[in-house]
Structure 1
Amino acid sequence: MTTRVLITDDSGLARKQLARSLPESINAEVTFAENGEVAIQQLKANEFDVMFLDLTMPVLDGYETLEAMRQHGLTVPVYVVSGDIQPKAQARVMELGAKAFVQKPVSPKQLEDILEPFKSDAASAAPKAEPVASTMRVGRREMYLEVVNVAMGRAADSLARFFDVFVHMPLPQVNVFEVSELTMTIRHLANNDNMSGICQGFSGEGLAGEALMLISDSSMKELLQILDYPDDGSVDNELEVLVDVSNVLISAFLSGLGEQAGLVFAQSYPAIIGQHLAVDKLVDGMRGTWKRTVTIEVSYAIGDTNIKCDLLLLLVDESLPLLDAKLAYLLDEE
């Protein structure tokens, strides 16, 4: 007898990590789904003993998958495994029927505890299920995307707790940009609105880069309406919000990245690169700062509002070999 496990995650690296961390004692027979739609198809066609589910996915995300399972009467036990660790996210998945929430990256010990009920039957099982993780190949970009997924979850959690809101987790983008392409991306993010931006350098053990946070004027106006900042003229509230949001997002994101890479980042003093500037003027102020970069792009949205905050991490080329070396353990075969 085997334990039939369905792992649903858009990240090939996350699927591989989870599969190879499953305890041998359960004799797992693993099936993969790259999004919730595929998972629903698998659940309708096959029987499973347990399902592991990511939240941030294209097509059908984790929340939509849980809702669809309820609609179709699919009752397999679901454990949500996600980098989105906001309290409201955890509460929401439990309301939708998940058995438990597990923070990425999941540890083998956590999986042993979760799968304890399957051990007694599976321990004497024969023949052994074929391990699937050893046959999977994961590339460098997938490695970066999964590491970014965990880091942006830390940042979203910090932002959610700071402002007592729910922050929607986006699908991150990782690209290599020339400066001209970077400015085009910023123009696209601005969407013809005036922007305010903060730039902050960071470094750690030879890895260096700059973080850029952008908030449109329309988002800033709505953000101020939901916050309880003093309105007595004693402070520049818009500047305070800009600095507070950048401190929360950038620090938490770098902390999440550093935890996975075994790095501690030092951050320079944040520099305001513009308030209420047309995007072309904001871009003009950046010229000469960057050349060719690996750009991590994350757009956060606050629930039940039109507020959007864009975070870009710009890593210089020279830093990449070190980052690759620090993260190589994620790709190691076991």
Structure 2
Amino acid sequence: MAELAVLVCDDSMMARKQLIRAMPEGWSVRITQAANGIECLKAIRDGHGELVFLDLTMPEMDGYQVLEALHKLGMEANVIVVSGDVQDAALDRVMALGALDFLRKPVDAETLLQSLRRHGFYSSPQASVQTPLADSGAVPFRDAFREVTNVAMGKAGALLAKVLGVFVELPIPNVNMFEIGELHMALADARDGDRVTAICQGYIGEGIAGEALLLFHDSDLADITALLGRSAETDEARLEILLDLASILIGACLNGLAEQWCGHLAVGHPVLLGQGSAIEDIIRVSETRWKQTLAVEISYSIEGHRTHFDLLLLFTEDSVATLTDKIGYLMGGD
């Protein structure tokens, strides 16, 4: 039987490896990989995408744009979306754009097998063996941790979407090791001269510790309170709303991280770190806690609104070794 041309498109090497490892043994396929939507379309044109596993959040061209381009260009490909964006609206949109199925990251072997059988791509073990994947080497820590964060971010975004009744636009998380004083330079979406209100929550567990900072741009606060449909006539009422929203978003993201390595992170109560302050002043407060940090930046935006807020997960330097071990566990020893 001829090999099926399978294309795995994801900007994360870790995600691609995880998906390929989940494929059934004995499946007669020829695997090609792409790191963004542009590479994906080229591979499909070249005949490498009879079946495409497509991520949504990618640089250059995202998964939504790939599906739209396939339709506009009249290109034929069977697409199964595999994404950490688990909003109900994300599922509805990709199915409306012609996707066959939507699988949540990280996909386990049984879920993938059921999808392949449901759509007629796998029925029983074939005589030939899957084409071996060329060893692309170990997955860099930043790539792996960005992918783990991507999954956690998606779960938090889905919860936020339900609370606010909106569609949350998810970014590609930024992962970097910084001197704490350099953090303000990492906030790519921070607007010059804008003032922010910052909520802080500490977390600890299993050799991991750090702080989460949620930065609300003061120019967006009225829009946020309107979306929640709550009265915010006083500073106290506005602060209560922001503390509640911070607990939801930070808690969901941290739980999403810990769930992937079957662990738990204890999260403290949200605390107001600064109000109507410059971002540089907020970061300066954090300098008193430690000097270097593994920083994860997630900039959430809300479709149809100018509102956005930045979530920073700041892990202590001592946490990196533990996180590296947990990433290795998720990669099966890579």
State TM-score, norm by structure 2.
0.93
Superimposed CA distance per residue, residues 287-310 of structure 1 (whole angstroms, 9 cap, x where no aligned partner): 412310000110000111111110
Superimposed CA distance per residue, residues 29-63 of structure 1 (whole angstroms, 9 cap, x where no aligned partner): 11111111111111112153311000000011010
How far the C-alpha of 1:136 sits from its partner, in A, is 4.4
Task: Identify the residue that residue 319 of structure 1 maps to in structure 2.
Answer: 319
The alpha-carbon distance between structure 1 residues 196 and 122, as it changes in their structure 2 partners (threshold 3 A), is: same
3-state secondary structure, aligned to 2:318: helix
Counterparts of 1:63-78 in structure 2, within 5 Å, are 63-78=64-79
Q: Work out whether residues 3 and 122 of structure 1, in 8 Å CA contact, stay in contact via their aligned partners in 2.
A: no
How far the C-alpha of 1:279 sits from its partner, in A, is 3.2
The alpha-carbon distance between structure 1 residues 231 and 221, as it changes in their structure 2 partners (threshold 3 A), is: closer
The runs of 5 or more residues in structure 2 that have no matched partner are: none
Task: Identify the residue that residue 282 of structure 1 maps to in structure 2.
Answer: 282
Q: What RMSD, in angstroms, separates the aligned Cα atoms of the two structures?
A: 2.0
238-247 or 147-156: bigger deviation = 238-247
Residue identity in the other structure for 1:192: G
1:119 to 111, 119, 122: 122
Superimposed CA distance per residue, residues 138-196 of structure 1 (whole angstroms, 9 cap, x where no aligned partner): 11111111111111111111111111111101011001111221244359725310110
Residues of 1 paired with 2:5 and 2:47: CA distance? 10
Q: Work out whether residues 26 and 115 of structure 1, in 8 Å CA contact, stay in contact via their aligned partners in 2.
A: no
State TM-score, norm by structure 1.
0.93
Counterparts of 1:46-125 in structure 2, within 5 Å, are 46=47, 48-116=49-117, 117-120=120-123, 123-124=126-127
Q: Work out whether residues 261 and 329 of structure 2, in 8 Å CA contact, stay in contact via their aligned partners in 1.
A: no
Q: Work out whether residues 198 and 272 of structure 1, in 8 Å CA contact, stay in contact via their aligned partners in 2.
A: yes
**Pair 1:259 & 2:240 matched:** no
Q: Work out whether residues 53 and 80 of structure 1, in 8 Å CA contact, stay in contact via their aligned partners in 2.
A: yes
Superimposed CA distance per residue, residues 176-223 of structure 1 (whole angstroms, 9 cap, x where no aligned partner): 111221244359725310110011100012211110110111111222
Residue identity in the other structure for 1:115: L
175-184 or 313-322: bigger deviation = 175-184
Superimposed CA distance per residue, residues 45-89 of structure 1 (whole angstroms, 9 cap, x where no aligned partner): 215331100000001101000000001112321110000001111
The alpha-carbon distance between structure 1 residues 49 and 188, as it changes in their structure 2 partners (threshold 3 A), is: closer
Q: Work out whether residues 51 and 78 of structure 2, in 8 Å CA contact, stay in contact via their aligned partners in 1.
A: yes
Q: Work out whether residues 261 and 323 of structure 1, in 8 Å CA contact, stay in contact via their aligned partners in 2.
A: no
45-54 or 155-164: bigger deviation = 45-54
Q: Work out whether residues 186 and 297 of structure 2, in 8 Å CA contact, stay in contact via their aligned partners in 1.
A: no
Q: Work out whether residues 25 and 119 of structure 1, in 8 Å CA contact, stay in contact via their aligned partners in 2.
A: no
How far the C-alpha of 1:236 sits from its partner, in A, is 3.1
**Pair 1:11 & 2:27 matched:** no
How far the C-alpha of 1:333 sits from its partner, in A, is 5.8
Q: Work out whether residues 26 and 118 of structure 1, in 8 Å CA contact, stay in contact via their aligned partners in 2.
A: no
The runs of 5 or more residues in structure 1 that have no matched partner are: none
3-state secondary structure, aligned to 1:118: coil
Q: Work out whether residues 199 and 211 of structure 1, in 8 Å CA contact, stay in contact via their aligned partners in 2.
A: yes
The alpha-carbon distance between structure 1 residues 231 and 129, as it changes in their structure 2 partners (threshold 3 A), is: closer
Q: Work out whether residues 2 and 122 of structure 1, in 8 Å CA contact, stay in contact via their aligned partners in 2.
A: no
How far the C-alpha of 1:108 sits from its partner, in A, is 0.4
Residues of 1 paired with 2:188 and 2:49: CA distance? 47
Residues of 2 paired with 1:188 and 1:93: CA distance? 27
- State how many pairs are aligned: 331
Counterparts of 1:1-334 in structure 2, within 5 Å, are 1-46=2-47, 48-116=49-117, 117-120=120-123, 123-124=126-127, 126=128, 128-132=129-133, 134-185=135-186, 189-230=190-231, 236-332=236-332
Q: Work out whether residues 202 and 209 of structure 1, in 8 Å CA contact, stay in contact via their aligned partners in 2.
A: yes
Superimposed CA distance per residue, residues 105-130 of structure 1 (whole angstroms, 9 cap, x where no aligned partner): 00100111122223348613x4x342
- Structure with greater helix share of residues: 1
3-state secondary structure, aligned to 1:230: coil
The alpha-carbon distance between structure 1 residues 287 and 20, as it changes in their structure 2 partners (threshold 3 A), is: closer
Residues of 2 paired with 1:229 and 1:63: CA distance? 33
Q: Work out whether residues 199 and 272 of structure 2, in 8 Å CA contact, stay in contact via their aligned partners in 1.
A: yes
The alpha-carbon distance between structure 1 residues 121 and 329, as it changes in their structure 2 partners (threshold 3 A), is: same
209-218 or 46-55: bigger deviation = 46-55
Give identity over the alignment, percent: 39
Residue identity in the other structure for 2:245: V
Residues of 2 paired with 1:105 and 1:294: CA distance? 23
